[in-house]
Amino acid sequence: MGQKVITFGELLLRLSPQNNLRFTQTEEYEAVYGGGEANTAVSLSNFGVDVSYVTKLPAHPIGQAGVNSLRKFGVDTSNIVRGGQQIGIYFLEKKTSQRPTSVIYNRAGSAFALSKCAEYDWNKIFEGVTWFHFSGITPAVSPELADACIAACKEAKKRGITVSCDLNYRSKLWDGATANKVMSEICPYVDICVANEDDAIGIFQLDTTGQEHPQEYVAQELMKMFPFKCVASVWRTETSITTFKLQSMIYTDKAYYSKEFYMSILDYIGAGDAYCAGLIYAYINNYDTQKAVEFANAASCLKHTVSGDFNLVTVDEVNKLAFAAAGNEVSR
Amino acid sequence: MGQKVITFGELLLRLSPQNNLRFTQTEEYEAVYGGGEANTAVSLSNFGVDVSYVTKLPAHPIGQAGVNSLRKFGVDTSNIVRGGQQIGIYFLEKKTSQRPTSVIYNRAGSAFALSKCAEYDWNKIFEGVTWFHFSGITPAVSPELADACIAACKEAKKRGITVSCDLNYRSKLWDGATANKVMSEICPYVDICVANEDDAIGIFQLDTTGQEHPQEYVAQELMKMFPFKCVASVWRTETSITTFKLQSMIYTDKAYYSKEFYMSILDYIGAGDAYCAGLIYAYINNYDTQKAVEFANAASCLKHTVSGDFNLVTVDEVNKLAFAAAGNEVSR
Amino acid sequence: MGQKVITFGELLLRLSPQNNLRFTQTEEYEAVYGGGEANTAVSLSNFGVDVSYVTKLPAHPIGQAGVNSLRKFGVDTSNIVRGGQQIGIYFLEKKTSQRPTSVIYNRAGSAFALSKCAEYDWNKIFEGVTWFHFSGITPAVSPELADACIAACKEAKKRGITVSCDLNYRSKLWDGATANKVMSEICPYVDICVANEDDAIGIFQLDTTGQEHPQEYVAQELMKMFPFKCVASVWRTETSITTFKLQSMIYTDKAYYSKEFYMSILDYIGAGDAYCAGLIYAYINNYDTQKAVEFANAASCLKHTVSGDFNLVTVDEVNKLAFAAAGNEVSR
Amino acid sequence: MGQKVITFGELLLRLSPQNNLRFTQTEEYEAVYGGGEANTAVSLSNFGVDVSYVTKLPAHPIGQAGVNSLRKFGVDTSNIVRGGQQIGIYFLEKKTSQRPTSVIYNRAGSAFALSKCAEYDWNKIFEGVTWFHFSGITPAVSPELADACIAACKEAKKRGITVSCDLNYRSKLWDGATANKVMSEICPYVDICVANEDDAIGIFQLDTTGQEHPQEYVAQELMKMFPFKCVASVWRTETSITTFKLQSMIYTDKAYYSKEFYMSILDYIGAGDAYCAGLIYAYINNYDTQKAVEFANAASCLKHTVSGDFNLVTVDEVNKLAFAAAGNEVSR
Amino acid sequence: MGQKVITFGELLLRLSPQNNLRFTQTEEYEAVYGGGEANTAVSLSNFGVDVSYVTKLPAHPIGQAGVNSLRKFGVDTSNIVRGGQQIGIYFLEKKTSQRPTSVIYNRAGSAFALSKCAEYDWNKIFEGVTWFHFSGITPAVSPELADACIAACKEAKKRGITVSCDLNYRSKLWDGATANKVMSEICPYVDICVANEDDAIGIFQLDTTGQEHPQEYVAQELMKMFPFKCVASVWRTETSITTFKLQSMIYTDKAYYSKEFYMSILDYIGAGDAYCAGLIYAYINNYDTQKAVEFANAASCLKHTVSGDFNLVTVDEVNKLAFAAAGNEVSR
Amino acid sequence: MGQKVITFGELLLRLSPQNNLRFTQTEEYEAVYGGGEANTAVSLSNFGVDVSYVTKLPAHPIGQAGVNSLRKFGVDTSNIVRGGQQIGIYFLEKKTSQRPTSVIYNRAGSAFALSKCAEYDWNKIFEGVTWFHFSGITPAVSPELADACIAACKEAKKRGITVSCDLNYRSKLWDGATANKVMSEICPYVDICVANEDDAIGIFQLDTTGQEHPQEYVAQELMKMFPFKCVASVWRTETSITTFKLQSMIYTDKAYYSKEFYMSILDYIGAGDAYCAGLIYAYINNYDTQKAVEFANAASCLKHTVSGDFNLVTVDEVNKLAFAAAGNEVSR
């Protein structure tokens, strides 16, 4: 379709115990790769979109395994800078009834975290590109990477590339004041902003107390601050110990709400990234706003049924859930 | 008890990813054997019934493993024809919240699919037999096997053997017109018919639109068409993303409904086959109709808690669920 | 804190099929160690309490693996008597929807079951000890062990050690008449009694029929019979096929009820033992009764989320669930 | 062929750590069933021989799983007495270079060990039988079982059934003096004796010191003591840390030696039982002595390549190894 | 380097039991993809060569998983025809001491086997291509595919593309007479022929009896028959039950022999395909003949250490083994 | 025995693919903990020695799992400093025939690597201690840790504690010049030095070229440089692709050589650490030098048969291998 997407961020090795074991029980780890922008890239590639992922990874076999995990699903990896010594790792203990998800980072000192702004040649990377996506995690990793995001945004603007950013506040990586300062510099370049309540509170210190429609409020406030074309948001609510409700919204001049899904969850990670991929796919394919929010919401819903960070579903599967009167029984 | 049952159909190797992984993720497959009529045979054997299974399997070790999977649970395998080159396979991806079950068949060209009507010597097989069971899958596999079913039915009738058939419509194996033609030839020999709404619509093009009691309607219509002694049916309804409701009915001159079970499901496959086994057991043991529908329904309910195609439960376990005031806590 | 706890009972090797398989399906067993009083000891050690476990285990490597399983979590094992030939084993098939939990004991003839009263030197074991805990399972294993419990209780009383006992009736180990006789001899030494309805019915033949608050009634009746300082109880109720409700109570001069938790359950075993550990921790740390019942109840709730017999949670985690306005989402 | 074989002994649950882990490392056990005479029965069934196994097993699911493990390979289990509480267990740690195999028994108190002589109705069991096989392990388990062996031998003799016995001395089950006394009572009924050097030393206190051909010496001495038609023996010698040499002998009026195999070993257990099955098959099929020793030796060699207690090989596979100029490359 | 390679053949799903289990034991299969020409493609891609693989695979997820297995290692999959219903499967039981490798094919009726010559558009596929490789398996699958090979060879010749063919005789796919006829039509287009003794005997009925240097003889005879630039061969010899010797040769105007490796083998499959990849890499990079045979031989040796069909080694690793004085100890 | 040992070093999380898979293949990692001095500590504890391990580990659950891995085998962990963010990790790909072991470090930035000299309070740690052991890895991790080693050595000397050091050169952690400088400062405090050829070459730039007895030469040269009481060494030689020869030596005033073991190897890591533990045990128990070298050598030999970093063997097992005429057959 002539569209080409770039995403930029860190690829982490995710290590998680199987069978809901605790860290102090496990003697083996399930190993997959993931990371916000990589997840979005894989999701887009599974939707048939031409997408290339930018990061830095060590040249050693553990880094290569990361590259392979992306190639496997068709993501172009030729823009990945190779070098450095370590790969970022995160340990994941899965939520089990009242026991919450636990994440332990082992990513300080990774090749990406130590990479320099100048290692990313945006002029070359953006050749033929029509869409640039990243999240607030990338500038949070280091000041150099904040600079890299800004440099990328400027180059993108110069070339008329659409820029989308998922604010994705991570309090373990930076504090609100720093986040506010950096993101305030970045957001003027962003066309499409994905932001949930926590992001808005964490980064821009918005106060949603007492708001009846907090997602709308967040969108309105952010659109006052920055020239976003729209603000999108996805949120899940625990409706019982076994069930969550998922819904999302795109705010342009008004709020477009998706329908709601009641889900049980196989994997809690990457649902926001899958939502971003759904949005980008919808916009690239000129879906109207209501159709876009349904598609993105269904993509995010299906992500909750896929183990690992990556959303391994097809456009057909998303469309069927978003728009068809689905029967969940076996087809045979 | 002097009763001896024959079931006839294809035994497939079932390959499914563990831990709810997708086909594009898994690097190993859980391997079990199954198939409608084999499932019913194993279930009956676990109930203590003398049962023999008729099929064709290659003489090679993968075929032998299929034979062993039946012997393990006490099914007589001496009537299995050995020969041919390939075993039928089906790949199974398990339903996970909004993501539906996915089945991919790799059964064309199997030893059974290529087998000839004449390979099954019903005169010899039916010696001492009192009950013959098969499903609509068997005649759907090939015209030769449709002929084999008809031949078996004729021989059974001649000998006064009770014949039960689960209509089991499979749209991936044949179209409605063909199914109608073949099943219309078979059904006159059938004493006990198991049929749910989808089967009746798929094979006999019944229209259940607007029916308040569609199962009753289906039973009544089928009993107008064929000289069935009764029509039985089992159905599950998704009541929430984590829960299904299971109920069943036997229609003789009126409808006998079972109580309802609210279940979470470990394995979606084989519940209908388990229901058939429950029915056959109940009839062989002269249960009255209400007791029969409760027993069969409870057997089907328990199947949903057993991994694989086979229902590995005892008569005591079924009775306890069907008729006792069950407490589910640990006994120790 | 100067507090030191002793628990006394049998450590069993627990063998359970993975992935909810039945005993007749599995070709491998998950192997963990557990047993009522060992579970309480591990739980206390994870809470930072100085605790030592008393039992008898064979000197061979399977016995050593049992010792190691306790040391791993910091329990002192220097009081364990080593010798004998066999380890007690229990096979566990996990509850799956309508299919109930199944436990098969293989513990007759174990080193502990054959051990003699005289092998436990309470004078030496109780040096510096402030709390002694055991359950009704220990005296049920053999008359010698009933004697050992009485000897321990007497020595504890002499030294002013607090004694707690979880009545824990096991009908597979002894009958009600014997239990009544032995426990009636033991209970006068007990300060804190943990007892649910089934225990009271099984051991003391209480009749709770028609009682509006059966837990209160049991506590009141038991306190009439024995000089307990309090009676505590925890109970779960199946509220749907996927959800249980957990609540507990401490009765002193009146009933203190905890709040309720709606849980899905990963592991059904050891929740009562975790409750005892919560109680002991709360009393050692001078929690008031309401805070104690909340802490113990939350500890028991979290146990249901941990695979195996042992409750692998920290004081922080219990406090967060018991007293904080918990959000269950990922922290990262 | 009209031949029907009975074997009699204990079926044990074998639990072994995977991947050569030690007992103190493993958190899961591979579970298979085995036991000398059961192993011989399965092996014979895999050779196409009609064979029935006699033992006692609990009626519970762990006992049923044992029954199923035999049915799976076609062994008749209708003569198995069902009852009792416990199953015999053995823990197995596999030999790894200089680290020797370690076996820990947990079989005292099993249903079989506690079974009575009178529970085995040899008159009924031996109907239509032509061959009876057991090993020295069975009478070692208990005096009642020693009596059962003697009763079986007497009944066998009365009916003209061929009796074979593998002496199989187990020093963990009985001492030499008792063994001598009991086996001296049994051996007069035995036609075919399988005995290696250790058995002869352990049970009959033979002294093989300085013998050039110890296997021949043992055979000759035993044949002086008892009216055996032949004595057969199989032995392996460690030729390097990775390789064993396997050879065997049948002594009638002279020694017939098999060729030697140099093997690496996947599983050390059950090779002698596989040898017995090879012998019985050969005699039933009227192989001459040299051909018999080659067949039995090759069967035993192949057992070393099969994981678990059972020898899962066909007559064709044994013949190919015993008699063909084997090429070990892939056939495709 | 401007070189681009095409390989053409069938991608099979390979299912093998883990831990050297037999087919009749396993309850799960390790699943990888492989096939002669796919293996060569992956190997080349791991060497940094630009390579594209041509085959036909179903559009369903099992087919997609096959595509992904190639993309993961960087093979271009854009020339793969998608369609058809079934994937070819082969079951693999691994050689274990005297027990030989066992392969069972389940590939009849696969999308590739049923594909038509006209589905492969060589004019488009060969754009920019410099090397074409396939093996004798491809024309053996069906007459249509034999035609496709011939069509490809003709188009390759027209464009000056180098053609290499590994004769790879498979007696389970065709007989010698058919093979001779078809391969005699193909070989005139081949520049580089890979052939071992079995291939030459099977396809061209050469008689190597009594030849001192059978590989040289085969090469000389083949070069008399066809205008090959060279004939290469690799062979392994069982030197003990745990060790094989690997050596290879390239014959141009004389024989160039590699050094010998004594190996223990993790995986027996794909060593010849890895050898072909080594050869192609060496020729593309203008290695002299002696260096080429050492590189290809070392690549094949390393393949024996990699599980699965694919050779996952780098040029550095091959060079280190082929040309360095290797120390095998840990580097850290 | 009144002896108490301290070891000091880094505990790493070791992640390795199972079944000899490569890093680019695995989707799960076996997780164990290890590290030179921790390995020695666990080994000593398994020998019944009172040993405490000093390191720094994060307070989070991954750090706690490391603590637990030591407690499990009885090592005292009360001297471990808790704090920091990350745990050191190493990825391990196991040697497979010609494919060498591959180690990838991810340990920069670990809590230990960033720890300060002042965090280790040797005055408190050494209370009641009689032996201090560390290796050359610890000072190589950082200058602060080099200082910590020196401070520990000085305190040890002051208290008359025996000091042993395994030189253990790691070229990935420091270069020869730095190593020489630091180790030259440390070695004057060392009583017992363990050093193989590579260590001596790497750290002290010794030249062993042409030495007939390089281990003796190294020992003699080191004893010229430092006031060691003895120098010990263990070395393995690849004698075939499946077999290594292990031997060791203690040099006092002359060389005492152990006997040789021909081993196949399950795990290549930690054999030197096990050797150190053997030496320390032998010296603590006043073995003479020849007996000491045999014990230590046998301990190291057995380590090669145990998976993971830790040597899980008992004194009895080592003695049996070192001094008994071992038969490797099953005892049962």
Residues 6+ apart with CB under 8 A from D122: D151, D152, D155, D156
A64 to chain C, any CB pair closer than 8 A? The answer is no
Burial of C50 (0-12, 13-18, 19+ CB in 10 A): middle
B134 to chain C, any CB pair closer than 8 A? The answer is no
Among the listed residues C117, C40, C51, the one whose alpha carbon sits nearest the alpha carbon of residue C81: C117
Name the residue facing C60 among D62, D65, D104 (closest C-beta): D104
How much is the average pLDDT of F186-206?
Answer: 97
Contact state of C103 with B330 under an 8 Å Cβ cutoff: yes
pLDDT at site A328? 41
How much is the average pLDDT of D182-206?
Answer: 97
Among the listed residues B263, B211, B207, the one whose alpha carbon sits nearest the alpha carbon of residue B235: B263
Among the listed residues E307, E26, F311, the one whose alpha carbon sits nearest the alpha carbon of residue D30: E26
pLDDT at site D2? 84
C135-172 per-residue burial string, b: 16 or more CB within 10 A, e: under 16: bbbbbbbbebbbbbbbbbbebbbeeebbbbbbbbbbee
- Proportion of chain D above pLDDT 90, given as a percent: 97
Residues on chain D touching F307 (C-beta within 8 angstroms): 19-22, 25
Contact state of E330 with F101 under an 8 Å Cβ cutoff: yes
C322 to chain A, any CB pair closer than 8 A? The answer is no
Handedness of CA B261, B265, B266, B272 (dihedral sign): positive
Residues on chain D touching E102 (C-beta within 8 angstroms): 331
Q: Is the pLDDT of residue B2 over 50?
A: yes
pLDDT at site F324? 85
Q: Hunting for tokens 């019982």 — which residue is that? A: A240
pLDDT at site C327? 45
Of the ranges B249-253, C126-130, D328-332, E163-167, which one carries the lowest mean pLDDT score? D328-332
C238 to chain B, any CB pair closer than 8 A? The answer is yes
CATH topology for D4-321? UDP-N-acetylmuramoyl-L-alanine:D-glutamate ligase (3.40.1190)
pLDDT at site A330? 46
**3-class secondary-structure state, position D132:** strand
Contact state of E328 with F24 under an 8 Å Cβ cutoff: no
Q: Is the pLDDT of residue B325 over 70?
A: no
Contact state of F97 with E326 under an 8 Å Cβ cutoff: no
The single-letter DSSP state of residue D92 is: E
Q: How far apart are CA A195 and CA A272, in angstroms?
A: 10
Mean pLDDT of chain E: 96
Residues on chain C touching F71 (C-beta within 8 angstroms): 71-74
pLDDT tens-digit series, residues D208-252: 999 999 999 999 999 999 999 999 999 999 999 999 999 999 999
Question: Could you tell me whether strands E230-240 and E192-194 are parallel, antiparallel, or unpaired per DSSP bridges?
Answer: parallel
How much is the average pLDDT of D118-128?
Answer: 98
Q: Are A33 and F27 in contact (CB under 8 A)?
A: no
Neighbours of F (≥3 Cβ pairs closer than 8 A)? A, C, D, E
Q: Are F305 and F312 in contact (CB under 8 A)?
A: no
Q: Hunting for tokens 């009507």 — which residue is that? A: B117
pLDDT at site C324? 85
Contact state of B305 with C101 under an 8 Å Cβ cutoff: no
C176 to chain F, any CB pair closer than 8 A? The answer is no
Residue F60: CB atoms within 10 Å: 20
Residues on chain C touching B309 (C-beta within 8 angstroms): none
Residues 6+ apart with CB under 8 A from D113: D10, D88, D107, D141, D142, D145
Residues 6+ apart with CB under 8 A from D264: D242, D243, D244, E97, E241, E242
C99 to chain D, any CB pair closer than 8 A? The answer is no
pLDDT tens-digit series, residues B207-226: 999 999 999 999 999 999 99
Taking the CA of residue D243 as centre, how many other CA atoms within 13 Å lie in the half-sphere pointing to its CB? 15
Nearest-neighbour CA in chain F from A90: distance (Å) = 11
CATH topology for E4-323? UDP-N-acetylmuramoyl-L-alanine:D-glutamate ligase (3.40.1190)
Contact state of B330 with C100 under an 8 Å Cβ cutoff: yes
Minimum Cα–Cα distance from B171: chain A residue: A332
Q: Is the pLDDT of residue F3 over 80?
A: yes
Q: Is the pLDDT of residue E214 over 60?
A: yes
Handedness of CA B71, B74, B80, B86 (dihedral sign): negative
Q: Is the pLDDT of residue F331 over 60?
A: no
Q: Hunting for tokens 């059938």 — which residue is that? A: B190
Handedness of CA B154, B158, B159, B163 (dihedral sign): positive
Residues on chain A touching C237 (C-beta within 8 angstroms): none
Question: pTM of the predicted model, to two decimals?
Answer: 0.96
Minimum Cα–Cα distance from B262: chain C residue: C241
pLDDT tens-digit series, residues F118-170: 999 999 999 999 999 999 999 999 999 999 999 999 999 999 999 999 999 99
Residues on chain B touching C103 (C-beta within 8 angstroms): 330-332
Chain D, residues 10-29, CB within 8 A of chain C, namely 15, 18, 22-24, 26-29
> Domain locations in chain F?
4-231
D72 to chain B, any CB pair closer than 8 A? The answer is yes
**3-class secondary-structure state, position F258:** coil
Residues 6+ apart with CB under 8 A from D315: D47, D48, D281
Residues on chain B touching C269 (C-beta within 8 angstroms): 330
Neighbours of A (≥3 Cβ pairs closer than 8 A)? B, C, E, F
Residues on chain B touching E87 (C-beta within 8 angstroms): 106
Residue F118: CB atoms within 10 Å: 10
- Encoding tokens for residue A251? 């705010």
Contact state of A100 with C301 under an 8 Å Cβ cutoff: no
pLDDT at site C106? 97
Q: How far apart are CA A277 and CA A36, in angstroms?
A: 11
pLDDT at site F325? 66
Q: Is the pLDDT of residue B313 over 50?
A: yes
Minimum Cα–Cα distance from A103: chain C residue: C332
- Encoding tokens for residue D23? 């007992």
Angle between helix axes A61-71 and A36-46 (nearest 10 degrees) is 40
pLDDT tens-digit series, residues D158-178: 999 999 999 999 999 999 999
Among the listed residues F264, F331, F256, F269, the one whose alpha carbon sits nearest the alpha carbon of residue F296: F256
Neighbours of E (≥3 Cβ pairs closer than 8 A)? A, B, D, F
Alpha helices by DSSP H, listed for B4-58, are 36-46
Angle between helix axes E271-284 and E289-303 (nearest 10 degrees) is 150
C105 to chain B, any CB pair closer than 8 A? The answer is yes
How much is the average pLDDT of F241-247?
Answer: 96
How much is the average pLDDT of E102-118?
Answer: 97
Region label for E21, one of left (φ > 0), alpha (ψ between -120 and 50) or beta (otherwise):
beta
How much is the average pLDDT of B172-182?
Answer: 96
Predicted confidence band of residue D330 (pLDDT cuts 50, 70, 90):
very low
- Encoding tokens for residue E205? 């009925």
Q: Is the pLDDT of residue F93 over 90?
A: yes
pLDDT at site C329? 40
Name the residue facing F240 among E262, E301, E302 (closest C-beta): E262
Q: How far apart are CA A209 and CA D127, in angstroms?
A: 86
pLDDT at site A325? 66
Minimum Cα–Cα distance from C170: chain B residue: B332
Degrees, nearest 5: CA angle E120-E122-E126: 135
pLDDT at site D332? 53
Residues 6+ apart with CB under 8 A from A196: A167, A215, A218, A233, A234, A235, A272
pLDDT tens-digit series, residues A299-322: 999 999 999 999 999 999 999 999
Predicted confidence band of residue F327 (pLDDT cuts 50, 70, 90):
very low
Name the residue facing B243 among C102, C241, C269 (closest C-beta): C241
How much is the average pLDDT of A281-296?
Answer: 98
Minimum Cα–Cα distance from B24: chain A residue: A312
Minimum Cα–Cα distance from C60: chain F residue: F314
Residues on chain C touching B304 (C-beta within 8 angstroms): 97-98
Q: What is the distance in angstroms between the CA of the first residue and the CA of the last residue of chain A?
A: 34
pLDDT at site F330? 46
Q: How far apart are CA D176 and CA B121, in angstroms?
A: 58
Which of E53, E60, E68 to probe the A interface (max A CBs under 10 A)? Answer: E68
pLDDT at site C325? 66
Q: How far apart are CA D101 and CA D300, in angstroms?
A: 19
pLDDT tens-digit series, residues E289-329: 999 999 999 999 999 999 999 999 999 999 999 998 644 44
Minimum Cα–Cα distance from E94: chain D residue: D330
Q: How far apart are CA A69 and CA A38, in angstroms?
A: 10
Among the listed residues D146, D155, D228, D236, the one whose alpha carbon sits nearest the alpha carbon of residue D193: D228
Residue D154: CB atoms within 10 Å: 12
Q: Are D41 and D166 in contact (CB under 8 A)?
A: no
How much is the average pLDDT of F256-270?
Answer: 97
Name the residue facing B305 among C24, C99, C242 (closest C-beta): C99
Q: Are C283 and C49 in contact (CB under 8 A)?
A: no
Predicted confidence band of residue C40 (pLDDT cuts 50, 70, 90):
very high
Of the candidate CATH numbers 3.50.50.60, 3.20.20.140, 3.40.718.10, 3.40.1190.20, the domain formed by F4-231 belongs to 3.40.1190.20
Residues 6+ apart with CB under 8 A from E263: E236, E243, E244, E245, E246, E301, E304, E305, F97, F98, F241
**3-class secondary-structure state, position C132:** strand
Q: How far apart are CA E101 and CA E14, in angstroms?
A: 14
Q: Can you name the residues that pair with D164 across neighbouring β-strands?
A: D133, D192
pLDDT tens-digit series, residues F7-19: 999 999 999 999 9
Predicted confidence band of residue C332 (pLDDT cuts 50, 70, 90):
low
Residues found in chain D: 332
- Proportion of chain F above pLDDT 70, given as a percent: 97
Contact state of F262 with D268 under an 8 Å Cβ cutoff: no
Nearest-neighbour CA in chain A from E155: distance (Å) = 29
Predicted confidence band of residue C328 (pLDDT cuts 50, 70, 90):
very low
Contact state of C72 with F74 under an 8 Å Cβ cutoff: no
Phi, psi (degrees; rounded to nearest 5) at F304 = -65, -15
Residues 6+ apart with CB under 8 A from C275: C194, C232, C234, C248, C296, C297, C299, C300, C303
Task: Please provide the DSSP assignment of A169-220 as one string.
Answer: --TTT--HHHHHHHHHHHGGG-SEEE--HHHHHHHH----TT-SSHHHHHHH
Neighbours of C (≥3 Cβ pairs closer than 8 A)? A, B, D, F
Q: Is the pLDDT of residue E157 over 50?
A: yes
pLDDT at site C105? 97
ipTM: 0.94
Q: Is the pLDDT of residue B1 over 60?
A: no
CATH topology for B4-322? UDP-N-acetylmuramoyl-L-alanine:D-glutamate ligase (3.40.1190)
Residues on chain B touching D68 (C-beta within 8 angstroms): 72-74
Q: Is the pLDDT of residue E259 over 80?
A: yes
Minimum Cα–Cα distance from E13: chain B residue: B27
Q: Are E103 and D331 in contact (CB under 8 A)?
A: yes
Q: How far apart are CA B115 and CA B149, in angstroms?
A: 13
CA-CA-CA-CA dihedral for C193, C197, C201, C207, to nearest 10:
120
Over its C-alpha atoms, chain C yields an Rg (Å, rounded) of: 19
Residues on chain C touching A237 (C-beta within 8 angstroms): none
pLDDT tens-digit series, residues C18-30: 999 999 999 999 9
Residues found in chain A: 332
Q: How far apart are CA A13 and CA D11, in angstroms?
A: 46
Q: Can you name the residues that pair with B299 across neighbouring β-strands?
A: none
Contact state of E330 with F24 under an 8 Å Cβ cutoff: no
